[in-house]
Amino acid sequence: METFKKLKDFYLPYRMYFFYSAICLLFVTSITVIYPIVLQYTIDHIVLGKQYQLVDNVAFIFIGLMIVKGIFTYIQQYYGDLFGIKSVYTLRNKLYRKLQYLPFSYYDNAKTGDLMSRLTADVEGFRFFLSFGFSELIRFVILLTASFFVMFYYSISLTLVTICLLPFLGVAVYRFDKRVHPAFRLIRQAFGELNTNVQENISGIQTVKSLSREKFQTSKFNESNGVYKNRNIETANVWATYFPLMEFIGNLSIVGLLAYGGALVMNGSVRPGELVAFFSLTSYLMWPIMNLGFVINMFSQSKASGERLLEILEEEEKVHEHAGSFSINGTVEFQHVSLSYPNEEKKSLENISFSASKGKVVGLIGATGAGKTSLTQLLTRFYEPTSGQILVNHRPIKEYPLPVLRKEIGFVLQETFLFSSSIGTNISYGVPGISREDIIDAAKRAQAHEFIMELPDGYDTMLGERGLGLSGGQKQRIAIARALILNPSILVLDDATSAVDMKTEREIQLALKEVMKNRTTFIIAHRLSSLRHADEILVLHEGQIKERGSHKTLIQKEGIYKNIYDIQYESNTSVMNV
């Protein structure tokens, strides 16, 4: 029960619903145990005793009991479901909030499909046990206790004969639990992998089709589906092995009851009606124990689900922040900063030191993997430096509340993400409730207004998933507008013009020149044309700053920057000659 203890904060606040359900279940189970007593009375006193005038009374009593049982069953199931539904509502909200605040490093290894599986299938598996499994455990205890009490009242010896095989049934149930729980955990993992395959295939459908890899993706899905199928077959084999065994043990008890009970009836120690009642009570005795296998099955599924949910809930958010109110004017300083990603021995950044005052433009260039993006992601605390510190306004960034810090940094990522909503909503995403005039102004500065107005509904045009329907350049310009509308003190452009043509790039650069005034700007670019106006260019190589200076200074040196310049100049010259 350790998993359920750790998750108690989600269901204990709603324990009154469970209490109401349990009280109703007590009435329902008590009425259930009364049935054999009514049956015994009918056989021994009405049929064998020939008191036929009592038939109507017994019938009315029986009908009344069924009506009362039906009413209490409805209330019990309603509150039981309410207990589970409200508990997982809180749990699902907490899980989603947790995913919002987990650091970037968590998502480096997490799989989207698996996370979706945890928030849907695993949460529902846990809910089902809260709504139904707990009630069945209570029913099991009450039914067993009440049945034993009535059976001992009728005949102690017959009761002992009936229950002599129960320890063997208990051992079978225990062994079933030991095998079925690991099996269900493997099923949950396989289902997460299956979801991941589906999610990746749908997200990358354009790549799949453009490279004619439909057969490969189908084969890959079939493989994951096959693993999921095999895990289910293995679990079904456990069921098929233990349930017939448990049923066989239960039937042996009935055979013993029939043989010994028949002898007691013949010698007059037990009445026929009592033996019939015993058979009914035996089913009440065996059925809960047999049903315990199903309850254990539910428990094992919910436990496996709970363990997967706890893996998210217990994940450390890592990013700690101070409370308070701070203003940021854009001055940035890196002091001997190094960064190593988890599970990587090589440093992504090593001993990075530089400063950028307000209004200064810093260009970052280097080969893929040189550490350009890592450097700017440290600024927003997407990752924490391994050593050294970063200052903004001469204050360590760890002292700023994250919302304050990130609101002051306009970030245009290399891979543009747009939500499935209107263009206007995407632009104003970081500043909800802002006026349409401000949205249009930001779009104009990002050179996006013109193409937006050519769309059927302008700023109200609904975008497909991830901005489907727009070109790469159009999506990047919307992302730039989204960053500009924040009116940030620090602007980070991570290869923000890589997906636009040369003409549009020049137009955006002219617009950004005005925007970058009085802002500290970091420009990551592969095109040197995007860096010509930078006050200082940092040339990164294998995580270190190898060269620094202005464009004019660096092309006069025989170094990495000059080589890049020569390659791009020669490339452009060759294209012009062609």
- The model's pLDDT over 430-464, given as tens digits with 9 standing for 90+, comes to 887 889 999 998 888 888 888 889 888 888 888 86
How deeply is 361 buried, as exposed, middle or buried, from its count of CB atoms within 10 A (0-12, 13-18, 19+)?
buried
Same structural domain, 31 and 145: yes
Res 576: pLDDT: 36
- Which residue type sits at 575? V
In a domain, 37, yes or no: yes
Same structural domain, 306 and 417: no
Instruction: Write out the residue range of the structural domain in which residue 157 sits.
Output: 2-313
Q: Beta strands 395-396 and 387-392: pairing type? A: antiparallel
Instruction: Find the helix packing angle between 502-515 and 472-484, rounded to 10°.
Output: 0
CATH number of the domain at 424, please.
3.40.50.300
Which of 484, 514, 530, 538 is CA-nearest to residue 332?
538
Share of the chain above pLDDT 70, in %: 88
How deeply is 575 buried, as exposed, middle or buried, from its count of CB atoms within 10 A (0-12, 13-18, 19+)?
exposed
Same structural domain, 437 and 308: no
Average pLDDT, the chain: 80
In a domain, 366, yes or no: no
Domain boundary among 313, 341, 359: 313
> What is d(CA 125, CA 127) in angstroms, rounded to the nearest whole number?
5
Structure tokens at 166: 């129960």
Share of the chain above pLDDT 90, in %: 4
Domain boundary among 277, 295, 313: 313
More confident residue, 466 or 542: 542
Domain boundary among 254, 289, 313: 313
In a domain, 420, yes or no: yes
pLDDT one-digit tens code per residue, 381-438? 888 888 999 998 888 888 888 878 888 888 877 777 788 788 898 888 888 788 999 9
Q: What size, in residues, is the chain? A: 578
Total domains, the chain: 2
Same structural domain, 305 and 417: no
In a domain, 69, yes or no: yes
In a domain, 234, yes or no: yes
Looking at residues 457-482, what average pLDDT do you find?
78
In a domain, 527, yes or no: no
In this prediction the pTM is: 0.69
SS (H, E, C) 434-451: CCHHHHHHHHHHCCCHHH
Contact status, residue 88 vs residue 127, Cβ threshold 8 Å = yes
Same structural domain, 183 and 40: yes
Same structural domain, 294 and 423: no
86-89: which pairs have CB atoms within 8 A and are 24 or more residues apart? 86/14, 86/17, 87/10, 87/11, 87/14, 87/127, 87/130, 88/10, 88/123, 88/124, 88/126, 88/127, 88/130
> What is d(CA 170, CA 173) in angstroms, rounded to the nearest whole number?
5
pLDDT one-digit tens code per residue, 91-108? 888 888 888 888 777 777
pLDDT one-digit tens code per residue, 255-308? 777 787 778 778 877 788 777 777 777 777 767 766 666 677 777 778 888 888
In a domain, 21, yes or no: yes
More confident residue, 99 or 181: 99
Which of 319, 312, 342 is CA-nearest to residue 115?
312
Contact status, residue 412 vs residue 494, Cβ threshold 8 Å = yes
Count of CB atoms situated within 10 Å of the CB of 351 = 15
Mean pLDDT is highest, among 50-59, 76-85, 249-258, for 76-85
CATH number of the domain at 189, please.
1.20.1560.10
Query: Which 3 state secondary structure label does DSSP give 216?
Result: helix
Backbone angles phi, psi at 548, to 5 degrees: -150, 150
Window from 230-244, 313-327, 523-537 with minimum mean pLDDT: 313-327
User: Could you identify the residue written with the tokens 């401000």?
Assistant: 438
Buried b / exposed e over 329-342, threshold 16 CB at 10 Å, is: ebbbbbbebbbbbe
Give every CB contact of residue 546 below 8 A, 6+ residues apart in sequence. Answer: 539, 540, 559, 560
Res 496: pLDDT: 67
More confident residue, 496 or 185: 185
Res 575: pLDDT: 37
Count of CB atoms situated within 10 Å of the CB of 71 = 13
Contact status, residue 306 vs residue 7, Cβ threshold 8 Å = yes
Query: Above 60 in pLDDT, residue 34?
Result: yes
Element spanning 243, H or E: helix 214-266
Element spanning 190, H or E: helix 166-203
Same structural domain, 306 and 425: no
In a domain, 306, yes or no: yes
User: Could you identify the residue written with the tokens 């017959």?
Assistant: 158
Contact status, residue 538 vs residue 370, Cβ threshold 8 Å = no
Query: Above 80 in pLDDT, residue 465?
Result: no
More confident residue, 23 or 329: 23
> What is d(CA 232, CA 219) in angstroms, rounded to the nearest whole number?
20
> What is d(CA 330, CA 522) in angstroms, rounded to the nearest whole number?
11
